[in-house]
């Protein structure tokens, strides 16, 4: 401590007394939530002393939890619409009509594995994969298409504007044992759409239909397409494309109810999705966009007549959503999402999947992005979320987790329902993304 910054004698005495008490607790409870070194660091700031002492006291000495902390087990009822027949992609029968949408950086194998463990999901799709990069077998791209026995059935979503390259990539994926291939025709990001891939394919009707047909004819596994309503409000071409795709052998179409011009702004057009449903004869149409909970999915199915629902960002905020949807379809009601402790357990399971593949140090770096959303959804103090982002080793991570477990949520309770967290989407002019 620098000269002139010493604490008064009474403060020093108080600090030493607190340390002595905490030494006793730590010796008696070796598995407690605070290491001694962490305690010393925190207690250097006298304003944190009370908080530190409270956290260091084992639960057995705490006051009884208030009545509001009782486990929340009440089920929520939502009226059920008329459902279409069970969902299938050609010969591939799916166990559920609720699907995980591809999300760059998030729908990785570890995340797909843990939502499978929760249950209720029919099909999970990888991040979007560059077809050319796949054919070059770059290390990063091959990691993106890795799977696991838990991850079945699974789809790989590819993007590109060259029909032959896309067909060759599809053949490679079939050789790797992929169950179904999805063609990205909806990504609005300029570097993809501006190169004629993603949503840019909606500006080239004949060329896009030929590309899709070439991919379908190159493989013997189901091929689906995910697209938007159109390029902008003056060219709502999705019904036309869906009708043509059915004729060339596409097994299913997923439709995001916005145009490329909208990006993620405004709201999804349910009438627009319904127009796509009505444009085809037999193949299933999967609705996507603005589905944050069971009630949103019910409205999507009721107003569009779609065969299934694909969910992306809502699954990051609530990985239990697929199980909730499946329960609701079967019974008309669903159980709450995971409690604080269940979410923490799920987060650690996902980290273990990463650690199993990459080792601790690399897994810690790769997990930071996903951990941010877990901890935000668990309503963890901003300071503790920041501390977790700075861990470098497994030992430091264990200390950070212990502090998080001890602190609990700031605006909920350990056994009750946590409030929803909003997962942000890109914003601003879409041509600048």
Q: What is the pLDDT of residues 181-198, one digit of tens each?
A: 999 999 999 999 999 999
User: Are the C-beta atoms of residues 100 and 121 closer than 8 Å to each other?
Assistant: yes
The predicted pLDDT at position 34 comes to 43
Question: Which is more confident, 229 or 413?
Answer: 229
Instruction: Indicate if 203 and 300 belong to the same structural domain.
Output: yes
pLDDT of residue 43: 42
Residue 306 annotated in active site: no
What letter does residue 60 receive in the DSSP assignment?
G
Q: How confident is the model at residue 62 (pLDDT cuts 50, 70, 90)?
A: very low
User: pLDDT value at position 8?
Assistant: 47
- pLDDT of 420 above 70: no
Find tokens 């999805």 and name the residue.
Answer: 182
In whole angstroms, give the CA distance from residue 67 to residue 72: 11
Q: How confident is the model at residue 263 (pLDDT cuts 50, 70, 90)?
A: confident
Strand partners, 333: 77
76: exposed, middle or buried (Cβ count in 10 Å: 0-12, 13-18, 19+): middle
Within-domain flag for 427: no
Q: Residue 318 belongs to a domain with what CATH number?
A: 3.20.20.70
Two tokens, residue 173: 């994926």
Residue 32 neighbours by CB distance under 10 Å = 20
Is residue 10 in a domain?
no
Q: Are residues 224 and 312 in the same domain?
A: yes
Whether 313 maps to a domain, the answer reads: yes
- What was the pLDDT predicted at 431? 57
Report the C-alpha gap between 254 and 410 in whole angstroms.
38
Q: Say how far apart CA 49 and CA 55 lie, in whole Å.
A: 10
Quick one: 269 and 367 in the same domain?
Answer: no
pLDDT score of 40 more than 70: no
Check whether 316 has a pLDDT greater than 50: yes
Residue 265: which pLDDT band, with cuts at 50, 70 and 90? confident
**Containing domain of residue 343, as a range?**
26-48+56-63+339-407
DSSP 3-state assignment of 92? strand
Annotated catalytic residue: which of 187, 203, 306, 353? 187
Are 187 and 292 in a shared domain? yes
pTM reported for the whole predicted model: 0.80
Task: List helix spans (H) across 335-419.
Answer: 340-358, 360-377, 382-389, 394-407
In the DSSP assignment, the letter for residue 201 is G
The answer on pLDDT for 60 being more than 70 is no
Residue 302 lies in a domain: yes
């Amino acid at each position: 401590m620098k000269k002139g910054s010493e604490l008064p004698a009474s403060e020093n005495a108080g600090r030493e007394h607190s340390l002595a008490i905490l030494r006793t607790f730590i010796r008696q409870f070796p598995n407690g939530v605070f290491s001694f070194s962490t305690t010393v660091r925190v207690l250097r700031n006298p304003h944190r002393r009370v908080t530190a002492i409270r956290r260091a006291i084992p639960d057995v000495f705490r006051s009884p939890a208030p009545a509001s902390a009782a486990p929340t087990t009440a089920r929520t009822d939502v009226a059920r619409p008329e459902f279409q027949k069970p969902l299938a992609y050609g010969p591939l029968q799916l166990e559920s009509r609720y699907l995980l949408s591809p999300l760059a950086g998030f729908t990785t194998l570890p995340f797909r594995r843990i939502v499978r463990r929760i249950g209720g999901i029919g099909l999970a799709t990888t991040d979007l994969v560059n077809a050319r990069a796949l054919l070059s077998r770059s290390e990063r791209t091959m990691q993106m298409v890795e799977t696991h026995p838990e991850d079945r059935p699974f789809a790989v979503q590819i993007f590109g504007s060259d029909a032959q390259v896309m067909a060759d990539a599809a053949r490679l994926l079939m050789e790797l044992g992929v169950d179904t291939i999805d063609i990205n025709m909806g990504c609005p990001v300029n570097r993809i759409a501006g190169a004629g891939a993603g949503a840019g394919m909606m500006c080239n009707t004949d060329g896009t239909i030929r590309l899709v047909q070439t991919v379908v004819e190159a493989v013997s596994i189901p091929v689906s397409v995910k697209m938007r309503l159109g390029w902008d409000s003056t060219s709502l071409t999705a019904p036309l494309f869906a009708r043509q795709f059915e004729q060339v052998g596409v097994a299913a179409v997923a439709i995001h109810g916005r145009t490329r011009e909208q990006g993620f702004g405004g709201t999804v057009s349910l009438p627009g999705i319904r127009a796509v449903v009505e444009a085809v004869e037999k193949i299933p149409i999967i609705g996507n966009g603005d589905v944050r909970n069971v009630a949103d999915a019910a409205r999507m199915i009721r107003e569009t007549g779609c065969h299934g629902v694909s969910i992306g960002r809502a699954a990051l905020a609530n990985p239990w959503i697929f199980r909730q949807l499946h329960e609701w379809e079967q019974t008309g009601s669903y159980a709450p999402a995971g409690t604080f402790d269940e979410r923490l357990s799920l987060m650690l399971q996902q980290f273990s999947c990463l650690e199993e593949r990459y080792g601790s140090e690399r897994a810690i770096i790769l997990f930071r992005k996903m951990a941010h959303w877990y901890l935000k959804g668990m309503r963890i103090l901003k300071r503790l979320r920041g501390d977790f982002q700075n861990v470098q080793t497994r030992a430091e991570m264990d200390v950070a987790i212990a502090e998080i477990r001890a602190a609990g949520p700031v605006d909920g309770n350990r056994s009750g329902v946590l409030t929803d967290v909003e997962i942000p989407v890109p914003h601003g002019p879409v041509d600048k993304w």
